[in-house]
Amino acid sequence: MADKSIPDIPEVRTPDADQEEAVSGNTPSEDGISRRKLLGTAGATGLALGAAGGAVGYAAAPSEATPLSSLGSNRVVFHVKHQPGITEGLQARGHLTAFDLTPGAGRKEAAALLRRWSATAERLMAGEAAAHDDTDVARDAGPSSLTLTFGFGHSFFSRTGLEKQRPVSLDPLPDFSSDHLDKARSNGDLWVQIGADDALVAFHALRAIQKDAGSAARIRWQMNGFNRTPGATAHPMTARNLMGQLDGTRNPKPAEPDFDKRIFVPSSGSGDPAWMANGSYAVVRRIRMLLDDWEKLSLKTQENVIGRRKSDGAPLSGGTETTAMDLEKTDAQGNYVVPGNAHARISRPDQNGGAAILRRPFSYHDGFDSDGVPDAGLLFVCWQADPLRGFVTIQRKLDRGDALSKYIRHEASGLFAVPGGAARGEYVGQRLLEG
């Protein structure tokens, strides 16, 4: 599963309408109060008045809109240097979807589709309704930290006649021993990642994107995920996965000097095509956790498999969650305190030539098998400037002796080239499709 010791991003966000970077040289515009914000509490206010005073409830109107809660008002801006949904904190709800272009659809149709998707993403992320045939599913909500992220799969380039623009880094991933991949739920021409802190806001975006696809593309596969809701814990903390482990302690941090070099494609000198500047590569894996087997283990055994304490994520060598792991520390019998095959030991960057990935996953639960076994685990999404030096390097090491491999199974996989953010007046992928 690539790395419980390479951490996720904290679960907390703040309203961020000022985060727009100077991609186009413009500053964020003031769009005013959206239709949703104006209508957000009118229904509830009228209902309360009606219960108290009969017909007065229908005649009275609120003098001003009640502000949205902090959770609903959080906004991520669409026009940024790097596409949204990469460095933002974990969201409570996620949808991962792959599309295939329909027979006869090519570069022209793909360009029109990405133009529609980008316009819809900009509106929905601002808390506005879709431009056409909005379903009203999210009518009363604010942006709720909604992000939409778009990428291209290996097959997209042959479908559109753009083989010469296909990055070498998009070559198919190698096979791994833990792979039990369902091809029908893997890869795809186009990939869309949706995240939000409200389930209805996320579903609304999913439906809008599907409707925008029209006759140009059809859904290949779609997966639903979740994380802990921001504010559910007494203080911000690293997320837990369905095994109960803190999952994401050692994620690269944007403040680190080499963060961009590890995660984003530079403007020049990388060997990637120019249209990938400021972009990143997303590896997507549906990793089933064999929870019945895992939960039979004692706490001590679980901690030895991971190499960290379950209670607080601290390394078994001692300290707190962020204490550096002492790989040489031994017990009275001379055994390593952090076992040699512990997941956290094997996946460390310093054990993999400095390889690092930015993990940004969602948990999933798709019910139970006929014998009552939960179909649950991790929708693993990781970001890197070069998949061969990132995910592939780490996963090959894990493949050779990770204690966790016995309790997980990789059931679907995809690799997608995610271009940089769109400047104002542009759509995502425009430099590829019109270059």
Q: Give the separation between CA 353 and CA 355, rounded to whole angstroms.
A: 6
Lowest-pLDDT choice from 15-24, 270-279, 283-292, 343-352: 15-24
Q: Give the separation between CA 72 and CA 79, rounded to whole angstroms.
A: 20
The tokens for 401 are 């002796």
Cα 417 to chain centroid, rounded: 14
Q: How many CB atoms lie within 10 A of CB 338?
A: 24
Lowest-pLDDT choice from 55-59, 104-108, 162-166, 257-261: 55-59
Q: What is the pTM of this model?
A: 0.85
Query: Using 50, 70 and 90 to split pLDDT, how confident is the model at 9?
Result: very low
pLDDT at 135: 94
**In terms of Cα–Cα distance, which of 353, 361, 421, 342 is closest to 386?**
353
Residue 424 corresponds to which amino acid?
R
pLDDT at 77: 97
Give alpha helix (H) positions in 365-414.
393-399
Asked if residue 223 lies in contact with residue 286, where contact means CB atoms within 8 angstroms, the answer is yes
Evaluate if residue 89 carries a pLDDT over 60: yes
Pick the residue with more confidence: 297 or 38?
Answer: 297
Averaged pLDDT for residues 180-195: 98
Evaluate if residue 355 carries a pLDDT over 80: yes
Q: Give the separation between CA 116 and CA 124, rounded to whole angstroms.
A: 12
Q: Give the separation between CA 346 and CA 342, rounded to whole angstroms.
A: 6
Give the catalytic positions in this structure. 247
Averaged pLDDT for residues 224-242: 93
Longest Cα–Cα distance in the chain: 80
Averaged pLDDT for residues 359-375: 96
Query: Using 50, 70 and 90 to split pLDDT, how confident is the model at 67?
Result: low
Average pLDDT score over the chain? 87
β-strands 374-384, 362-368 pairing: antiparallel
Pick the residue with more confidence: 180 or 23?
Answer: 180
The tokens for 245 are 């482990």
Averaged pLDDT for residues 419-434: 97
Tell me the torsion sign for CA atoms 78, 82, 84, 89: negative
Give alpha helix (H) positions in 136-198.
154-159
pLDDT in tens, 328-349: 999 999 999 999 999 999 999 8
pLDDT at 33: 41
DSSP label of 105: -
Cα 184 to chain centroid, rounded: 21
pLDDT at 395: 96
Query: Using 50, 70 and 90 to split pLDDT, how confident is the model at 178?
Result: confident
Asked if residue 64 lies in contact with residue 175, where contact means CB atoms within 8 angstroms, the answer is no
Q: Which residues pair with 190 in a beta bridge?
A: 99, 152
DSSP label of 277: T
pLDDT at 267: 86
Using CB atoms within 10 Å of the CB of residue 229, give its burial: 0 to 12 exposed, 13 to 18 middle, 19+ buried: middle
Evaluate if residue 118 carries a pLDDT over 90: yes
Averaged pLDDT for residues 360-384: 97
Asked if residue 427 lies in contact with residue 119, where contact means CB atoms within 8 angstroms, the answer is yes
**In terms of Cα–Cα distance, which of 230, 148, 154, 165 is closest to 189?**
154
Residue 269 corresponds to which amino acid?
G
Pick the residue with more confidence: 190 or 270?
Answer: 190
Evaluate if residue 1 carries a pLDDT over 60: no
